[in-house]
């Protein structure tokens, strides 16, 4: 058996039109509506933090509400009234409500700065559990989930990559029976649109493997990926380790092949604009 170094470079483009229901207007990833009971103003954008901050402080686009009791509702990627908060005119009391999870909390401070500090402390210490529950609901109802719920989420990328490498293509054997080092780079581009929301995606799976003869190999794949969701940046880094074992090998006299691949996968993903992210692992 001689050593073999084999490299593979393939380029794929995946384009799709996802037909799905949704109530969002095209391009409106987030929409905030603020009212003081007399005047109502709505504004949309691709950053949840920026929009919510302006509404809470009644600044920039919502400056006209400064000094008034206000109620603000946030539509999250087509989910109407996903978040609601109220702020009094003095800026010393605010209430945050998440209807989908039943969460509600009121913050009270001596002045606006004290109120701001209380909200920040809540966000740092106690908000993660409630926000995780909220994102789980969002993943079920929208097409922009970072970790789950759509064909470009972390779970879908991991499952699709493993199936493509170890089932669809039966890597690393593509006609060769020799042992050796396997190197592969498989860039992919994609586009999808659903409910008026456009998504562009790119990924670059990089595979390093070692083939031990014609039956056993080990493959390590690292996949950096990027999604653009109506102006929001989403980043993924996935990892996959597989040990494909060929129990049966097809030949001119035996038309059946059988490969079994124990594997493990993991992904770290996140988006500041979507205020979402997480770690996924499985096998």
State the pLDDT at residue 1. Answer: 35
Same domain, 126 and 52: yes
Residue 49 domain-assigned? yes
Same domain, 171 and 230: yes
Same domain, 116 and 242: no
CB-CB neighbours of 185 under 10 Å = 13
Same domain, 127 and 153: no
Q: What are the pLDDT digits (tens) for 139-165?
A: 887 777 888 877 778 888 888 888 888
Count of domains in the chain?
2
State the pLDDT at residue 103. Answer: 92
Lowest mean pLDDT among 66-75, 92-101, 117-126: 117-126
Residue 145 in tokens? 């989930």
Mean pLDDT of 97-124: 85
Residue 24 domain-assigned? no
Residue 155 domain-assigned? yes
pLDDT above 60 (res 25):
no
Lowest mean pLDDT among 26-35, 143-152, 163-172, 254-263: 163-172
First-to-last alpha carbon distance for the chain, in angstroms, is 32
Residue 272 domain-assigned? yes
Query: Is the pTM above the cut of 0.85?
Result: no
Same domain, 112 and 164: no
Residue 25 domain-assigned? no
Residue 112 domain-assigned? yes
Write out the residue range of the structural domain in which residue 36 sits: 30-141
State the pLDDT at residue 95. Answer: 93
Residue 229 domain-assigned? yes
Residue 53 domain-assigned? yes
Same domain, 137 and 153: no
Q: Residue 178: which pLDDT band, with cuts at 50, 70 and 90?
A: low
Q: Residue 128: which pLDDT band, with cuts at 50, 70 and 90?
A: confident
Same domain, 112 and 156: no
Same domain, 119 and 157: no
Same domain, 189 and 277: yes
State the pLDDT at residue 127. Answer: 80
State the pLDDT at residue 12. Answer: 41
- Choose the final residue of a domain: 141, 175, 206: 141
Mean pLDDT of 96-113: 89
Q: At CA 81, angle to CA 75 and CA 83, rounded to 5?
A: 85
Mean pLDDT of 42-69: 84
- Choose the final residue of a domain: 117, 141, 165: 141
Lowest mean pLDDT among 38-42, 96-100, 143-147: 143-147
Lowest mean pLDDT among 36-45, 164-173, 178-187, 246-255: 164-173
Assign 3-class secondary structure to 128-157. HHHHHHHHHHHHHHCCCCCCCCCCCCHHHH
Same domain, 266 and 159: yes
State the pLDDT at residue 181. Answer: 83
Same domain, 46 and 127: yes
- Choose the final residue of a domain: 98, 118, 141: 141
Q: What are the pLDDT digits (tens) for 195-238?
A: 677 888 999 999 998 888 888 889 999 999 999 988 889 999 99
**Considering the chain, what is the average pLDDT of its residues?**
81
Same domain, 176 and 71: no
With 0-12 CB in 10 A as exposed, 13-18 as middle and 19+ as buried, what is 157? Answer: buried
Q: Residue 121: which pLDDT band, with cuts at 50, 70 and 90?
A: confident
For 34, phi then psi, to 5°, come to -115, 135
């Amino acid at each position: 058996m001689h050593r073999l170094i084999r490299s593979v470079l393939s380029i794929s483009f995946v384009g799709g039109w996802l037909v799905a229901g949704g109530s969002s207007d095209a391009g409106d990833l987030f929409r905030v509506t603020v009212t003081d009971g007399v005047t109502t103003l709505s504004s949309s954008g691709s950053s949840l933090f920026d929009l919510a901050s302006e509404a809470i402080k009644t600044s920039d686009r919502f400056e006209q509400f400064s000094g008034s009791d206000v109620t603000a509702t946030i539509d999250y990627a087509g989910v109407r009234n996903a978040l609601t908060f109220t702020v009094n005119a003095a800026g010393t009391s605010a209430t945050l409500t998440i209807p989908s999870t039943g969460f509600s909390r009121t913050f009270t401070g001596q002045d606006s700065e004290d109120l701001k500090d209380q909200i920040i402390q809540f966000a740092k210490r106690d908000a993660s559990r409630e926000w995780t529950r909220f994102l789980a609901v969002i993943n079920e109802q929208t097409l922009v989930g970072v970790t789950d719920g759509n064909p470009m989420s972390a779970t879908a990328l991991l499952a699709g990559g493993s199936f493509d490498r170890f089932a669809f293509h039966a890597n690393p054997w593509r006609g060769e029976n020799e042992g050796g080092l396997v190197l592969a780079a498989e860039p992919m581009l994609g586009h999808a649109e659903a409910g008026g929301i456009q998504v562009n995606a790119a990924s670059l799976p990089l595979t390093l493997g070692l083939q031990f003869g014609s039956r056993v190999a080990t493959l390590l794949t690292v996949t950096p990926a990027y999604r653009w969701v109506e102006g929001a940046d989403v980043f993924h880094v996935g990892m996959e380790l597989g040990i494909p074992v060929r129990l049966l090998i097809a030949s001119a006299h035996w038309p059946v092949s059988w490969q079994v691949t124990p594997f493990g996968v993991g992904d770290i993903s996140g988006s500041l604009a979507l205020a979402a992210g997480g770690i996924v692992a499985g096998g």
